[in-house]
Structures are given as C-alpha cells and as structure tokens.
Amino acid sequence: MASLAQLKYAMWLSIFLSAFIFGLLVFVIVFFLQLNVFVGLAVALGGSALFILFQYTVGPSIVAATTHLHYLKPGENPWLEKTVKEIADKSGLPMPRLATVPNNTPNAFTFGRSTKSATLAVHEGLLRQLKEDEIKGVIAHELGHVKHKDYIVMTVLSALPLIAYFIAQATLYAGAFSGGGGGRNNKNNSGAALIAIGVIAFIIYILTFLIVMRLSRLREHYADAYSAYVTGNPRELESALAKITYGLSISPKAPEGARAFYIEDPATAKQEIQQIMKNKDEYDLDHDGVLDERELELAMEKESKSTWKQINSLFATHPPTFKRILMLKEIEQEMDSGKYSSDKMYSHV
C-alpha cells in the first residue's frame, strides 16, 4: 500500500542513486586523466553544482519563454481563477500564478522554484476541448505536483543525466579528434583515455536517465490519485486523460521540450494511439468503423502488455494512459463502496 512517505522516499532514493552513479563518473575522469584527486573532485562537483543551480534558477524563465506563456491578469478568466483558487485552498496551497499557452493541443503543466512561486499553465486547447469538470480534474492533478514538490525535485535531478550526456559527447568527440587508438605516444594515450571516459559517461547517462524517468512516471500516478481525492470525481480525470491522449496524438506539431512537466507527454500519446490505429480492425469489436470508449480501453490494455511496449516504457516520462485510467477506476470503485478515506488516497499507486 503506497503512501506519500513512499513518494518522498522514492525521490530521495533517486537523488542518492543518481548522485552515487554520477560520483563514479567523476572518479573515472580523475583516474583516466590522472588528475589530482582533490582538484578533480572540486572542479567536477563544483561545476555540477553550478550547472544544477543554473538550471534551477534559469529553468522557469526558459520554460516560460519557449512555451510563449501569457500570464493572466486578475479578472481575465474568472472561471479558471475561481476554480484554481477553490482547489488550491482545499489543498492548503498558495494561489499559483495562472497562465495560458497559445496552443490548440489539450495539455497543462506546472513549474517554478518553490511552492509560493509556482505557475500553473493550461493550453488554450485544453480549455476548449474539455468539459469544466474534466478541466477541474486536470487542475487538481497539476496542483498535486505542487503539493508533492516533485517538479522542483525533477528540475534538479534531471540535470545529472544532462551533465553526463554533455561529458560523453565532448570526450568522445575530443578523443576521436585526437586520434585515440591506444598507441605509445602521449597523444594517442590521451585520446584513448578520452574515449574511455566518453563511453563510461554515456553508460552513466543511460542509468541516471532511467532513474529519473522512473521517478517521473511514479509522480504522475501520485498526482492522479491526489486529483481523485481532491475532486472526489476520478471519472472526470479518466475522461480528461483519454481526450488529452487522443488530442495530442493527432497534433501535427512535433513534441516540445520539458515534456516531463506536462500532464501527458505528446510523444507517448502519439505512440500509444498510432499503434492502436494500425491494429484498428482487430480492436473494432462491433465493426462499426469507430473505436468506442470500451474498445479503446481494451486496445490500450492489450498494447500495454506487449514486450516491446514494456521495454519502451522504461524510457517514457509518463505511464501508459491505460494504467493511469485503470488506477483511477479502482479509486472510483472504492469511493462508490463508501470505504475511501483521505489517509489512504495513495493506496492504489
């Protein structure tokens, strides 16, 4: 039975494992380049700390600029302001800054440096394509991320795979350029050392990336469960997730950056729906040419069980939509039975 304490434990464990694995990369660099241990550690750890601080400080501004946010003025969208205020008050959270994104796809995300400085951004497509109760479910999901402070952890934690990737790219290029091949002269020896560092850095990039992605998927389940509890209506979030996944899948635009912060990853949505549409005849049980809600659920369930899908999901920022909907249905059944309580809101994660 999951709990909020387990999410916090998963966050700290992810940070520890990523930092430990990244520390091995620092040791490898110091060893292969025969640097002074203290100087090497100081440069590597100091540089990493500065990069993480830079990402934490500048990241929100970059997100705001790249998504073309429009911050709402008081009274500009009374319904959205009122709805967010009600859910924030119920969650014991300060009112976040509200913004809209001039994008026709149905999506939403939160970001910021702290709970008090959080921004909740919704795509214009979400406000147009979803019903009000469905939008409430999405808003409660996003405020769940704020409540859990996981977007702050993700901002910091995601810096480590990036650093490892940059090191891998730089050292592999430098090693190849210097003609690394293991000859006797110093130039070839240094080139071989750089290539070795690059290969190890790339392996460490994959390992830390997998750790970050696992935490990213886990926090989505927790935010879904939180939304179900706050709204008392998991069915609306189920419907919203189905509409969002389908809406994102038919978007002609390529997936944007910072995909982990969205309620649904555009790339994952495209993969889910496109694969189902390839096998549409198999899933269209009544042969009417259209996949209804039940047929789509069965299709998503079957697709999620494929070996390739399970392997591919290890690299995904979000869990398969079917698994999210299945968890919400379990919560819905528990609520209907009258046995649901706030202290067990994460029991189905």
Residue 86 falls in the annotated catalytic set: no
Helix 78-91 and helix 186-231, axial crossing angle in degrees, nearest 10: 90
Report whether 320 contacts 300 (CB < 8 A): yes
Task: Give me the residues paired with residue 111 across strands.
Answer: 119
CA distance 201 to 199: 5
List of residues 6+ apart from 113 with CB closer than 8 A:
56, 57, 60, 152
Pairing relationship of beta strands 119-123 and 97-101 according to DSSP bridges: parallel
Q: Which of 76, 81, 134, 142 is an active site residue?
A: 142
Report the alpha-carbon distance of residue 274 to residue 214 in Å, rounded.
24
CB 22 within 8 A of CB 129: no
Looking up tokens 């528990």 gives 334
One-character DSSP codes across 126-184: HHHHS-HHHHHHHHHHHHHHHHHTHHHHHHHHTHHHHHHHHHHHHHHHHHHHTT-S--S
List active site positions.
Answer: 142
